[in-house]
């Protein structure tokens, strides 16, 4: 009889303890737009997914990621099929969608080999051979589109590794693209390292946000993300992709 009472008491104690634990939220679905090193579909990872997983794990959430082409993220918001979307540039959102408190930024730049002089303005493009990311003329605005007309040669490519190869082989003087992407690509490229490149951030930073379907989840993310920034963990995540 004593053994039965003891067994019942243990069962009740365990049940009480379990009910006192924080409830785990449902699995959250993140839609991440491909943009190296922020989102790397071939490796099923990236800065954005690492950050979201780490921040929301602190609140007991499990995050699953779907990777899509960069331009498909914002149209997908209107379906409300996912819980989290990144990157989002336009604040024209459907009702009941919640934007992260602080914007992050993509920083495009003019990238050269380290032995080249610093670039401070579009005037440096004159008589130079430029290679840029696909769609740069449209994305970077009319002033840029006009400036590259004075380049000795101008072309665009889908792969940043092609830009690095052109620099390394002497087939281009200046590469145009995201400076973190340039550093990431240099880590992957066997003939260059990030410190072989000069990053000239001559373009205005481009702000973007994380967008959430649930306001409470957004609030949890904002608090956790701020802590990651303050304690240096965010930079550690970034450096894991762009520092050899």
For the segment(s) 108-200, the CATH number from 3.30.360.10, 3.40.190.10, 2.40.110.20, 3.40.630.30 is: 3.40.190.10
For residue 164, CA distances in Å to 22, 229, 232 come to 49, 30, 29
Q: How far apart, in whole angstroms, are the C-alpha atoms of residue 40 and residue 37? A: 6
Mean pLDDT score, 62-84: 93
User: Which two three-digit tokens encode residue 184?
Assistant: 């990431």
Q: Who has greater pLDDT, 123 or 4?
A: 123
Q: By percentage, how much of the chain surpasses pLDDT 70?
A: 89
CATH superfamily of this structure's domain 23-105+206-242: Periplasmic binding protein-like II (3.40.190.10)
Kindly report the number of other CB atoms within 10 A of residue 77's CB atom. 19
Our CA angle for 71, 158, 212, nearest 5°, is 25
At 54, phi and psi to the nearest 5?
Answer: -70, -45
Kindly report the average pLDDT of the chain as a whole number: 88
Of residues 24 and 33, more confidence is placed in: 33
Angle CA(129)–CA(133)–CA(136) in degrees, nearest 5?
Answer: 90
Residue 91 has a pLDDT of 67
Of 224, 235, 232, which Cα lies nearest the Cα of 61? Answer: 224
Q: Which residues of the chain are in CATH 3.40.190.10 domains?
A: 23-105+206-242, 108-200
Is residue 29 within 8 A of residue 57, CB to CB? The reply is no
- Tokens at residue 160, please? 């940043």
Supply the pLDDT for residue 173.
98
Give tens-digit pLDDT for 138-178.
889 999 999 999 999 999 998 888 999 999 999 999 999 99
Residue 1 pLDDT greater than 70, yes or no: no
Q: How many angstroms from the chain centroid is the CA of residue 181? A: 10
């Amino acid at each position: 009889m004593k053994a039965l009472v003891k067994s019942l008491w243990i069962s009740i104690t365990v049940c009480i303890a379990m009910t006192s634990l924080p409830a785990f939220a449902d699995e959250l679905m993140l839609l991440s737009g491909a943009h190296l090193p922020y989102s790397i579909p071939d490796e099923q990872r990236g800065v954005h997914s690492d950050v979201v997983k780490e921040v929301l794990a602190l609140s007991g959430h499990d995050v699953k990621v779907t990777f899509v082409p960069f331009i498909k993220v914002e149209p997908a918001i209107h379906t409300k099929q996912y819980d989290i979307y990144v990157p989002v540039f336009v604040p024209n959102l459907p009702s009941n969608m919640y934007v992260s408190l602080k914007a992050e930024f993509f920083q495009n730049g003019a990238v050269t080999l380290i032995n080249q002089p610093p670039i401070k303005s579009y005037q440096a493009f004159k008589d130079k051979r430029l290679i840029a990311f696909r769609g740069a003329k449209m994305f970077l605005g009319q002033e840029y589109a006009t400036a590259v007309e004075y380049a000795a040669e101008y072309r665009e490519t889908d792969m940043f590794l092609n830009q690095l190869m052109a620099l390394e082989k002497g087939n281009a003087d200046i590469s145009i693209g995201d400076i973190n992407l340039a550093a990431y690509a240099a880590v992957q490229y066997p003939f260059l390292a990030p410190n072989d490149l000069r990053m000239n951030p001559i373009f205005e930073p481009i702000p973007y946000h994380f967008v959430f379907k649930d306001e409470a989840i957004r609030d949890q993310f904002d608090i956790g993300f701020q802590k990651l920034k303050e304690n240096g963990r965010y930079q550690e995540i970034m450096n894991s992709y762009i520092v050899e």
